[in-house]
Structure 1
Amino acid sequence: MKIKCFLLGSLMVLVMLSVAMAQPTMNYGYVQTFENGQVNWTTGLVTAKGIGAPPATAVNMAQARAMAVRAATVVARRNLLEVIKGVQIDSTTTVQNYMVTNDIIVSRVQGFLQNSQVLDIAYMSDGSVEVTVGVSLRGGLADVLLPKTIPFGTKIQRPTRLTPSAPQVSVPAPTAPATPTVPTTPEVQKPRMEEAQTQPKPQIVYTGLIVDARGLGARPAMSPKIYDENGQEVYGSAFVSREYAIQQGMAGYAKDINKAKTNPRVANNPFIAKAVQVKGKARTDLVINNDVANQLRSLSKNQNFLEKCKVMIILD
């Protein structure tokens, strides 16, 4: 019996150590912490916890635990609503501000939270239970939370395939017989130096945009904007379709620029820009150098990584 207890205890210690070691890897993204939960702005997952106690009227241990889980789930989903209310939509509006203006939005958000996924159940030694619930800030919930008044662009236009027309048949006009010429040795033409120098260089293909905003006190939002130093918008809702913004999110956030480079959102060859300033009441909008802004405008004429929301922002 002592050997079994020792082995069981050792196994529990190993499990706890493995979980602790895996935790930094799981949370490498940018996580915004609230009083009752957190938002992972890299994955878009919003989580919250709730604790429930078993009622004194329970007839047995199984019923007590089931009722404690139910109570903890209710508390966790209520806390999840509070976390979502604190999410910044743009530089001036939070989810709570937006919900106050529309009762329909309130009921739809609550409907999503009632169906939020139970991610973990922890049983405490005193009989209480801690439940963790989560919901994605993208997809259906984003469709509810992004106001219809936000000016989004149109869907990305795909090139249409042209239908070949019927060939035209022309009758050649009669010509006079050609005068025979004496064959000459063909001359090899060398390219002129001027022509070789004026040939355009092939444009580098970028797979996304990373904006380094560390050291500026910037904060995350569902609909951030990027400006140049003259106040002209370089990236924002007007540059993407609403469909992409809902499914992908306008931007992903991270703390580590090297890990952000390997994120599927922007890998394998992202364009990297340094933010020089933050804008907006909530400090969610960024300003980049004019020269860099002009490079992005030039790239966007032939490349669509901005239209597809392939943007990562690095925060402290």
Structure 2
Amino acid sequence: MTRRLMTFVLLGTLMLLSPGRLFAAEGQGITEPFDNGWIDWSNGTVWADGIHAPKERGDRPTSPEEREHYVNRAVREAKGNLSTILRKLTIHAETTGGDVMGSNRDILAQVDLMFLSTPITGKRFLTDGSVEVSVSFPLRGAFSQLILPEEIRQIDPIKPLFPPRETKGVEPRTPYTGLIVDARGIDAKPGLAPRVVTKSGEEVYGPTIISREYAVQRGVVTYERTLTRAAQGLFADENPLVVTGIGTPALARTDIIISREDAARIRSDAAHTTFLSQCRVVIVLDGASPKEKTAP
């Protein structure tokens, strides 16, 4: 299957599975607010709003044709706001969606085609004749296939050559099934392709370890606000290993620095190559939700 065909297959699947709008409230997830929209990093979705206010109409009722015209204008504005957010989206460090799309006209053209299928997830007619609409756009799937760094390639998880050695009288430890990085209090920020590194810059989790298939389907990481939500997350599964972030690189606040001891704990686990390559990683951040909204 060609890369372009895979893109549109994934897009179609995601649009069919796209849920109704999830209005963020305090404590629900990691969100990043923008003018007229926000990124829900916990659910891997971008939301954008658009509004069209007609010129003075007096007391004349709005005709069906005018109402449809107002809706179309509001949708165009919402998609324009969505485009702006995607261009400001942080991929890694200082690299944004706009940087990637601006340097590759083919990627830009395919993202523009995706916009044609962007669903309207909310519509509201106000008493003054104005129309407000909301649209949503999934970051996982087709968009990630296009926008993720090329270093993230399709790889098979490395299997250990020998089973873990059993010690007499010692209960064998259950292998870890995921990684939770507690990065609260270190001023880290969310991104589409973060890394976990040591102080010396040695990569513990990043493009050389990740399988692109899982990165596209699941996201490189999942972001949550609390350890409880992280432990309950799908990607962490039943027995996650928890480590603590101790800082971020000066020029890459999307990356999380962990201690050499925690890096050794990750690598000493026989299953780490599997759960890391499958992107079973949750990062817990400090995060403020956008103002609470009510569904239209």
When normalised by structure 2's length, the TM-score is 0.79
1:129 to 2:131 alignment: yes
Instruction: Identify the residue that residue 105 of structure 1 maps to in structure 2.
Output: 107
Instruction: Note the aligned Cα RMSD (angstroms).
Output: 2.5
Shift of 1:268: 2.1
AA of the residue aligned to 1:152: R
Cα distance 1:301–1:259, how it changes in 2: closer, same or farther (>3 A)? closer
The residue correspondences of 1:245-256 to structure 2 (distance < 5 A) are 245-256=215-226
> For 1:196-243, what per-residue CA distance to the aligned partner results, in whole angstroms no more than 9, with x for missing partners?
976665132222111011111101111111112332111011111111
Quote the Cα distance in structure 2 between the aligned partners of 1:278 and 1:95.
21
The residue correspondences of 1:215-294 to structure 2 (distance < 5 A) are 215-294=185-264
Instruction: Identify the residue that residue 153 of structure 2 maps to in structure 1.
Output: 152
The residue correspondences of 1:21-170 to structure 2 (distance < 5 A) are 24=25, 28-54=28-54, 61-148=63-150, 150-152=151-153, 154-156=155-157
8 Å CA contact 1:54–1:64 kept in 2: the answer is no
> For 1:167-219, what per-residue CA distance to the aligned partner results, in whole angstroms no more than 9, with x for missing partners?
xxxxxxxxxxxxxxxxxxxxxxxxxxxxx976665132222111011111101
Instruction: Identify the residue that residue 209 of structure 1 maps to in structure 2.
Output: 179
> For 1:83-137, what per-residue CA distance to the aligned partner results, in whole angstroms no more than 9, with x for missing partners?
0111111113111111121111211111112211111001111011110001100
8 Å CA contact 1:54–1:67 kept in 2: the answer is no
> Secondary structure, in 3 states, of the residue corresponding to 2:25?
helix
Q: Who wins on radius of gyration, i.e. which is larger?
A: 1
Shift of 1:53: 3.1
> Secondary structure, in 3 states, of the residue corresponding to 1:304?
helix
Shift of 1:151: 4.2
Quote the Cα distance in structure 1 between the aligned partners of 2:82 and 2:95.
19
Cα distance 1:246–1:31, how it changes in 2: closer, same or farther (>3 A)? same
Shift of 1:269: 2.1
Q: Which moved more, 1:215-224 or 1:203-212?
A: 203-212
Quote the Cα distance in structure 1 between the aligned partners of 2:200 and 2:170.
29
8 Å CA contact 2:199–2:258 kept in 1: the answer is yes
> For 1:264-299, what per-residue CA distance to the aligned partner results, in whole angstroms no more than 9, with x for missing partners?
121322111100111152411111111111110111
- Give the aligned length: 257
Quote the Cα distance in structure 2 between the aligned partners of 1:74 and 1:300.
51
> Secondary structure, in 3 states, of the residue corresponding to 2:95?
coil
Following TM superposition, where does structure 1 have runs of at least 4 consecutive aligned residues deviating by more than 6 angstroms?
Answer: 55-59
8 Å CA contact 1:229–1:288 kept in 2: the answer is yes
Cα distance 1:102–1:219, how it changes in 2: closer, same or farther (>3 A)? same
AA of the residue aligned to 1:24: A
When normalised by structure 1's length, the TM-score is 0.75
8 Å CA contact 1:55–1:64 kept in 2: the answer is no
